[in-house]
Structure 1
Amino acid sequence: MNPFIFGEVVKDDNFIDRKTELESIVKDLSDGQKIFLIAPRRYGKTSLLLAAAEKLKAKGARVVYLDLFKTASVEQFAAALGKAAAEMRKLGFAEAVKFIRDFVSGLRPQFSINPDGSLSLGVDASPPQKEVFQMIENLLAYPQELAVREKRPVIVIFDEFQEITGIGGEPLEKLMRAVIQKQRNVGYAFCGSKKTMISEMVSKKSRAFFGMGPITHLEKIPSEYFEKYLAANFDKGGFNFSKETLRYIVSSAGSIPYYIQYLAHELWDLKAEEKKITDLDVERAVMLIAKRNTPLYQNLWENLPQTQKRLLQGLAANSGAAIFSGAFIARFQMKSSALVKKSLSLLISKDIIEKDAAGYVFTDYWMGVWVRQNCS
């Protein structure tokens, strides 16, 4: 069986390094801290958070995890908080339904059971916002009440927390800050992958969450950790390879956990019979992955204006280096640094590129490969 996993949360032997970050998160949350974790997508943020959650549960804490990515309204947010409060109590289905109804009856909650046995909750009403905000305030206060009553720590993890800006804007941010900052027995993790949005939330003095707690930026995992992981798994499968090829796999996937797993998975299947992996095989696998995603990338590409296409060509060719230089502007016909800046802003808003420590990069690493292969 192919041991390389991508597109889902990784656990156990597939959870690589992050020991320092994991220990720090567990300690801070156990101490009732309010922490912020910022990481680009596919850096392993969610796997890290869920690993921390398991360790905290083992220490006796009540832990709930809320992913706000699909939450689109304050009503849905209130319902998500209600469901989380029921999960803190570890209630059965009937008890959970009654418990949640007591908090959010005005939303006319609709309950069902998912195939995995978990509770599914929807809403069928839109009461006045003032009423919804009161529900949210009551639900936000609940973790502290539970922690005091049970004399045990309670931990609340918000993933994709930047979505709160679109859900309820500044009023919701201020309400959350007002309630949460008083809670001494509850640890909160506010985590986001849209770096520009989440960074503004915590670094601007005018924003509600400014100065509320320590901020951690999740960096790339050092190559040697992945090289050891790849070697162990390819060894078990009877593959032949060199250390240099393992290093090439990591660099060819941008040193990003998701893409390394993806590329290794592809190589395992590609070379299952021959059982030998070379640098040329790595290049072939990268090309196959990019080609497989052509319909998605082509649709994005065809809907972009020429200036943004030229900027993406430049980013793909130059890895985001010196994009405001005269040489870059001349080569890719960007006319001026102002046009580069405007195009960057528009591409960020379309979620095609983002900024990291190295500069501006494609949010989907394979799209950068595809642009180099097909549009340069």
Structure 2
Amino acid sequence: MSTSYLSPSIIDSRTFRPRDNEMWPAHIVKAAAITEAVETLKLGAAGSNGRREGLIAHPASREPGIGLAPSTAVSYGVLLPGEKTQPRRTNASSFSIGIEGSAVAYVDDRKFSIAKWDGWNTPGMRIEVLENKTDKPFIYVTYSNAPFLQKLEVFYEEYNPPEASHISQTPEFADKLAKRARAKDMAGKPRVVGDTGAMLLPYEHLIDPDFIESRALHWRWEDVAPHMGLVRSLSQGYNGRPLWCLYNSATGSRNGTTFSFFATMTSAAPNFIGPVHRHVSSAINLILEGSGWSIVNGERIEWEAGDIMLSAPGWSPHGHAFGPQGAIVLTIQDHPLHIGAESLIWQEDLKNGPILSLGAQAGFETNISEFRKAE
């Protein structure tokens, strides 16, 4: 049946069927290819923005918004000794991790000394600068939600913004804000209409919403590492995942590292096998240490230290198994983005389990009580 129009620009839905979802296949980039790219990035001059970065493109990815997953751009960056990037701010948010060497990350009024496996977030519209004060190259990986914004045609980026554009609150600025008269307060509180919980909200609330400041945070590996043994101790029989989420409390019940992604550090014991499950959020695994294999949509993929892969395309059945030495894996997943959109459906048991909307209803349980007493 051909699509018909009721009038110009109005399609008759009785004759129109949107295309089916295009499920991306898993995709792995091996450590050797990454090393080759990084060595090439070290050559020649940095870009006009002071950066040397390589963007990983999934074979199914198309403009607008090139990424390793539909919502997620992954870039490998190199900062040579003495180099400093141009101040940049964008409405995209990001999480980055140091891979080799060290550097300083400046995010608005915060300064972080970044070492190997240290992670940090850069909230949207915060000015970021990276500087290498050492005599060795600094290698890092950045995960950004820029493709999501580019697909919406609303991505914003600028370099060398005016000093006044720093928006993190100093104590003085916070005090000034607390004392100001707000138009939203003059406009009044929400008004209840009817008996179902529906309300009316004045315009002033829309342009000056209450907020929780999302600041740049630093997860030092030396601070995180002592906690990894606790999750690694989970033996066969645990039906959850042996990981810690690098949590940013500003994200609240979204349980995110940013408002779009969570970053988790998995430390799996030798020969640990995780359950097969699926979710609409996409997951990207960076193998920091160890080896193993994954089954994604029925395809077996071997991985080892230094590899990066789209390990869980949205709604693809997948499971991961760890080798005889175990593994440490960084996972980036657009879980919080879907919670905010009320679209995060998840299924733990593919044979008989329910499909739940996480963040909108009670979720799943694990058997953690068999391994650990409540704290």
TM-score range, shorter chain: under 0.3
Q: TM-score, normalised by structure 1?
A: 0.22
Q: More strand per residue: 1 or 2?
A: 2
Q: More helix per residue: 1 or 2?
A: 1
